[in-house]
């Protein structure tokens, strides 16, 4: 039985290990540098004195998912400052690209003293947690300080459910302190309910990731890249691949090249620290490998076999330039559980995944139902499917259209999410104004 007291003691005891992991400089990732103090709650004060809406998004994926909500909040509350926290430096880099009344800080480690110090400095009005990043001390302290906590776009896999159940003595009380959880689907709601949450705390909004919008700039940049690669060439993208998966994809692509020698593969490793290693791996089999970081707009890529996507935040552009998308994290057993197919689906790309997609089971199931995605088990099956889709382009177009229909059918989560958020935000702002009025009246 792991109580919160024992959990906190273990946190303090393992501090050297925790901070070595948080502060470790990894190849391809920006360093934390002097901002390491923010992990212990010593964060610079905000530029504005008004209490911010605090949005916690762990890393790049969560920041991307939060962006439509951030944009909607800025439209509804243009004067309201937003504080966005991340755990990773790549997430911080993504936040830096956002515009508006936004400031970034690193999320403090879950030490009570660090969380209290952070909250005392930032003075958030309420906290929005993206997806499922639930820390016992943080949730407890937020309730103690009357800060509503709302989990947005919440998902809970069966594996995560089992983890929380194993440590129920630790999480039971903190979970009860969450103000509201906006679940992606009914399965997520059921899993959260099994952890003892009150039904009044739970609602289903769908996932905001269906509310995808691509700017004209992204589409145009994708078309420009496609022109560089060659308009008549089949372009396959392997998106968010993991260690051990690149070899599988490259082996499949060698088979593809025997039937379609003009095909080109856009390979996008999931983690930037692997860019150099994957580039070296590609060059062993495909000497005509080009890295995006070393490409200029005027470069002729018509003889390129592999185009390595070694940049951050440009996945939509690379997807827009392709015909067929294989989604990584799905061909290396149950280590990862796949990645989100919604971006390629929204761009009407024919989608392929491996058998391990449990982290996105609901989305993938919908795509399977309408034949908008194909499941393959190994390099040979991946090569065969790609070859079929290249040889029968009308099949690829149909798959892409059917995948896009799934996205269109499920849009509307953002509106449901904002309906709930505005209720809590307005309630919090009104309470704060009432308190200010009372304080002024007693002076």
Catalytic residues: 62
Predicted pLDDT of residue 403? 97
Number of H helices, E strands in the chain: 18, 14
The dihedral through the CA atoms of 335, 210, 84, 222 has a sign that is positive
Residue 27 has what pLDDT? 66
Dihedral angle sign, alpha carbons of residues 150, 153, 156, 160 = negative
CATH code of domain 216-410: 3.40.50.2000
Give Cα 317 distance to the centre of its chain.
Answer: 17
Give the alpha-carbon dihedral of 184, 190, 194, 195, to 10 degrees: 10
pLDDT at 439: 64
Average pLDDT of each block of 10 consecutive residues along the chain (443 residues)? 85 88 72 88 91 94 90 94 94 89 96 96 96 93 96 91 91 93 93 93 91 90 96 97 97 98 97 93 96 91 96 92 98 91 96 94 93 98 98 97 95 94 90 68 60
d(CA 56, CA 110): 13
Query: For residue 307, what are its two tokens?
Result: 């185009």
Report H helices in 81-111: 89-96
Q: Tell me which residue has tokens 């504005």.
A: 48
The number of residues making up the chain comes to 443
Evaluate whether 4-211+412-442 and 216-410 have a shared fold. Answer: yes
Tokens of 140: 């407890």
* CATH number belonging to domain 4-211+412-442: 3.40.50.11720
Give the number of other Cβ atoms within 10 Å of residue 424's Cβ.
18
Q: Do the beta carbons of residue 256 and residue 386 sit within 8 Å?
A: yes
**Phi-psi map region of 366: left, alpha, beta (phi>0 left; psi -120 to 50 alpha):** alpha
Per-residue model confidence (pLDDT) at position 19:
81
Q: Where are the domains of the chain?
A: 4-211+412-442, 216-410
Please report the pLDDT score of residue 135 as a whole number. Answer: 95
Where b means 16+ CB within 10 Å and e means fewer, 25-35 reads: eeeebeebeeb
Q: What pLDDT is recorded for position 49?
A: 84
Taking CA atoms, 430 is separated from 180, 424, 434, 438, 442, in Å, by 19, 10, 6, 12, 19
């Amino acid at each position: 039985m792991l109580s919160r007291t024992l959990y906190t003691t273990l946190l303090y005891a393992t501090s050297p290990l925790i901070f070595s992991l948080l502060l470790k400089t990894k190849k391809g990732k920006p360093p934390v540098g002097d901002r390491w103090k923010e992990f212990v709650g010593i964060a610079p004060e905000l530029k504005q004195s008004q209490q911010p809406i605090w949005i916690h998004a762990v890393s790049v994926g969560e920041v991307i998912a939060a962006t439509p909500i951030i944009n909607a909040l800025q439209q509804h509350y243009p004067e309201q400052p937003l504080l966005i926290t991340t755990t990773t430096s790549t997430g911080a880099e993504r936040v830096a690209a956002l515009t508006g009344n936004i400031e970034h800080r690193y999320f403090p480690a879950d030490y009570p003293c660090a969380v209290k110090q952070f909250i005392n400095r930032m003075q958030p009005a309420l906290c929005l947690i993206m997806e499922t990043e639930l820390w016992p001390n943080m949730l407890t302290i937020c309730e103690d300080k009357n800060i509503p906590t709302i989990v947005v776009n919440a998902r809970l896999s069966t594996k995560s459910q089992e983890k929380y159940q194993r440590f129920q003595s630790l999480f039971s009380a903190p979970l009860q302190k969450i103000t509201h959880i906006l679940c992606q689907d009914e399965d997520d709601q059921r899993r959260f309910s099994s952890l003892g949450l009150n039904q009044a705390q739970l609602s289903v909004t769908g996932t905001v990731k269906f509310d995808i919008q691509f700017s004209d700039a992204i589409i145009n940049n994708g078309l420009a890249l496609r022109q560089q690669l060659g308009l008549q060439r089949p372009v396959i993208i392997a998106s968010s691949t993991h260690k051990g998966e690149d070899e599988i994809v490259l082996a499949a692509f060698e088979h593809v090249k025997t039937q379609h020698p003009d095909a080109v593969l856009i390979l996008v490793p999931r983690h930037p620290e692997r860019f150099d290693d994957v580039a070296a791996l590609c060059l062993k089999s495909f000497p005509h490998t080009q890295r995006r970081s070393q490409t200029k707009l005027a470069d002729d890529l018509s003889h390129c076999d592999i185009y390595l996507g070694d940049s951050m935040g440009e996945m939509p552009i690379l997807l827009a330039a392709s015909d067929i998308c294989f989604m990584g994290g799905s061909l290396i057993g149950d280590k990862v559980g796949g990645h989100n197919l919604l971006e390629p689906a929204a761009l009407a790309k024919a989608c392929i995944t491996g058998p391990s997609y449990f982290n996105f089971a609901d989305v993938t199931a919908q795509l399977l139902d309408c034949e908008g995605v194909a499941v393959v088990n190994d390099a040979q099956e991946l090569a065969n499917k790609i070859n079929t889709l290249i040889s029968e382009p009308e099949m690829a177009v149909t798959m892409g259209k059917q995948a896009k229909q799934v996205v269109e059918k499920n849009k509307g989560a953002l509106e449901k999410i904002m309906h709930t958020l505005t209720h809590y935000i307005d309630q919090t702002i009104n309470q704060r104004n009432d308190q200010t009025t009372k304080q002024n009246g007693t002076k």
